[in-house]
Chains A and B, each alone.
Chain A
Amino acid sequence: MTLQIDTRPIWLILAIKSLRPIFFLALTSLFLYFLWMPAPEGLSVEGQRAIAVFLLCLVLWISNAIPLAITGILAIVLVPILGVLSNKVTYSLFGNEAVFFILGAFILAGAVMHSGISNRLALYILDRFGGSPRGLLLTVFLLAAALSFIMSEHAVAAMLFPIVIEISKSLGLRPGKSNYGKLLFFSMAWGCIIGGVATFLGGARVPLAVGILKETTGSDIGFLDYSIAVFPLVVILLFAGYMLLTRIFPIDITEVGGAHGVLKKRLKALGKLSFKEYAVGAVLAVTVCAWVGLGEKFGLAAIALASVVALFVFRLVRWKDIEEYANWGIILMYGGAIVLGSALDKSGAAQWLVGMVIGDFASEPWAALALFSFLSILLTAAMSNAAVIAVLLPVTIGMAQTLSIDPVMLTYAIAVPAGLDFMFPMGTPAIAIAASSNYITVRESAKGGFVMFVTAWVVFNLVAAFWWPLIGMGYK
C-alpha cells in the first residue's frame, strides 16, 4: 500500500476544500439579503421574493453547483414557502401540458431508439447516398439534422457517434490530423444542433417555452406553425454550416469505399426489419401526423400520451426499456422552470425587472427581438438551453406586455436561439460528444462555432424581419 501525500501548500488545499461551502454560504447570504432588504419602489413584496428566488436559481443553473433538476425542485419549494404563489397553484403548474408533452416525447424517443429503427435508417441512408467524400459528408450533415426533427438532438448525436467513429477508422483518418475526420464530427454535431431547432421534438426547450407562454399569457404556438416560422432559418444555417466547414477544413481524401464496407457489415448484422421496428416507426409517423393535423384540437400532450399508451398496448416496448433511455430527473427542472416563470409573472416582478434592467435598451420591437435573441444565444453557450428559457422567457414576456409586442414573437426570440450553441461542449452535448472523439478540439469548435454563432443570430433576426410578416407574424 502506498501512502499518497498532498504536497501542495496548505493554504491552497484549504482554499480548494472550502470553496464549495463558501460559495453556498455567500449565495445564501445574498439570497437572504434580497429577501429582507426593503422592497424597491414599484415592486411588491411577493415580486421581490420572486426575484430573489429567480436570482438564486440563475446562479445555480449557470454554476451547475447542484444538478439542474434539483434547482428546479428548489424553485418549487421556495415559491410557496415565501408566499409568492399558494401551494395549490405551485403544484398545479407542475401538471402543465408542456411537462406531459415532454414526458410523452421522451418515451416515444426511447421506444424509437430501443427498437433500433433509427439506427437502421441512419445506416441505410449513409450507405445509399454517401458515395463520394462530399456526398458522405453532406449525408452525415443532413441525416443528423433530419433525425433531430423527430428525436432529441442529443440522442441523435449519441446514436450517430459510433457510426461516424467506425467510418473514420475505416477510412484511416487520424484523430486530430485529418480534415475529413474533423468535417465528419463537426457535421454530425452541427447537423444535430441546426435540426434540433426545426421542430418541437429536437429538444424540450420549445415545448417548455410554449408551456411558459401559455401559462402566463394564454397564447399558444402550434406544432406546424413553429416549424413554418423557423424553416428558412434551418435551411440557411444548414447551407451556411456546410459551406463554412468545407472552407475551414478542405476535404483531404478522394474516396470513401472503406466506409461502405463498414456500413454494409453493420446493416447485415442488424438482420431483416423486424415487426417491432415497423410498428414503432408507424406509431411515430402517425403521432407526428396527428401533432400536425390534430394538435390544436386535442392538444400535443394528449396525442403524445395516447401514442405512449399504444406502444404499451401492442407490447412494442417494456417500461424497463424506456426507463434506460430517458433522463427523468430533468422533467423536474422543466416543472420548476414553469413555476418560476409563473411566479415572476403573477407577482409583477417580470415587468418590474424589464423596466429596471432592459427597458431603455430595447424600446423598439426589432431592438427587443435583437437584444433578447442575442442574450439567449449568448447564455446558451454557458448553460443548459432549458435553463436559458427558464431564466429569460418570463422577463421577455413581461417586456412584450409593456411594449405591446406579440409575446409569441419574443417566445421565438428566446426558444430558437437557446438551441443554437455551436461553440462549447458545456452548452451543447452534441459538441461534447464530437469532441470526445479527439478528432476535433474545443479550440477548433470555438473558432468555427463563433462564426456560426454570429451567423445564426443575424439570420434569425433577418428571418423575423422578412419571413415572419409573410406568414402573419410581423412586428406590430
Chain B
Amino acid sequence: MKKILLVLSYPGFSGRAIDEAVRSAKKEKATLAALYLLEAGAAESVFDKFSDIGFMGDRPAEDLSKLVMKESRQRGYEALGKVQIKAMEEGVDFEPLVEEDATVEKVLSVIDKTDPSAVFVLKKKQRAFFKYFTRSLADELAERVSREVVIITEEGDQEKEDSNVKDMDRK
C-alpha cells in the first residue's frame, strides 16, 4: 500500500498543515505515517549551560534535561494524536513514529525504512535575512530525497493558527 510521510519537526504547527497531508493521503488512498522529531539538542544545550557557566552540578542539570525531554516527548504524542484524530475522521490509515534528534539524517533513515511515495514536511517562514545563514530541514530534505517532497510553509507566529499555511511547494 502507498504511504505518505508527514514530518513534524517543531511543536505548535497549524491544523491546516495536518489537513493538507491527510487530504493528500485520502486522495492517493495511502497510509499516513506521521513522524515527530524530538529536539534532543534543546535539553542538552541547557545541560551544557549549567556545566560550563552555572553553579550547579550534574544532578540538577540532568534532572532538568530529563524533564525537558519528557515534556517534548509528551507534546510529540499530543501532536501525533491530533494527526491521528484527523486521519480517523477522513478514514485514512495512520501510523505514528517518534524519533529523537531532529536531523536530516534521521529523517532519511526513516524514509529508507518506510519507503513513502511522498514526504510532507513543515517549514517555518523565515525572514529573508536569515535565509542566507540557515537552511531548514525542509529545504535539505527537498534536495536530498529522491521522491516527491511537499513543503508546507507556515507563518512563525503561532497565534494566527487558522491562516498559518502560506504556501505549498512540490519538489
Contacts and interface: CB of A to CB of B under 8 A. Distances in A.
Given A175-B12, A432-B45, A437-B71, A67 B52 contact: yes
28 contacts: A2-B108, A2-B109, A64-B52, A68-B53, A113-B60, A154-B55, A158-B56, A158-B61, A161-B64, A175-B11, A177-B159, A203-B55, A204-B55, A325-B56, A325-B57, A325-B60, A326-B55, A327-B50, A327-B51, A327-B55, A330-B53, A330-B54, A426-B49, A429-B46, A429-B49, A429-B50, A436-B43, A436-B64
Nearest to A5: B144
B74 to A, nearest CB: 9
B71 A432 contact: no
Contact of B55 (A7, A155, A176): A155
Nearest to B10: A438
A199 interface: no
Closest 6 A/B residue pairs (Cβ): A324-B59, A152-B55, A154-B54, A384-B53, A158-B60, A176-B12
A83 interface: no
Interface string B76-89: 00000000000000
Contacts of B59: 324-325
Interface residues of B, number: 34
Given A326-B56, A432-B49, 4 more contacts: A7-B143, A109-B55, A177-B12, A438-B12
A432 B57 contact: no
B64 to A, nearest CB: 5
Contacts, number: 97
Given A158-B61, A327-B50, A429-B49, A436 B56 contact: no
A351 B124 CA distance: 51
Interface in B70-126: 71-72, 75, 105, 108-109, 112
Nearest to B112: A2
A204 B11 CA distance: 36
Nearest to B144: A7
Nearest to B158: A176
A312 interface: no
Interface in B130-147: 143-144
B71 A110 contact: no
Contacts of B144: 7
A159 interface: yes
B158 A177 contact: yes
Contacts of A326: 55-57
Nearest to A66: B52
B56 A152 contact: yes
Contacts of B56: 152, 154-155, 158, 325-327
Nearest to B65: A436
Contact of B71 (A64, A152, A165, A323): A165
A227 to B, nearest CB: 19
A402 B64 CA distance: 47
A326 B12 CA distance: 35
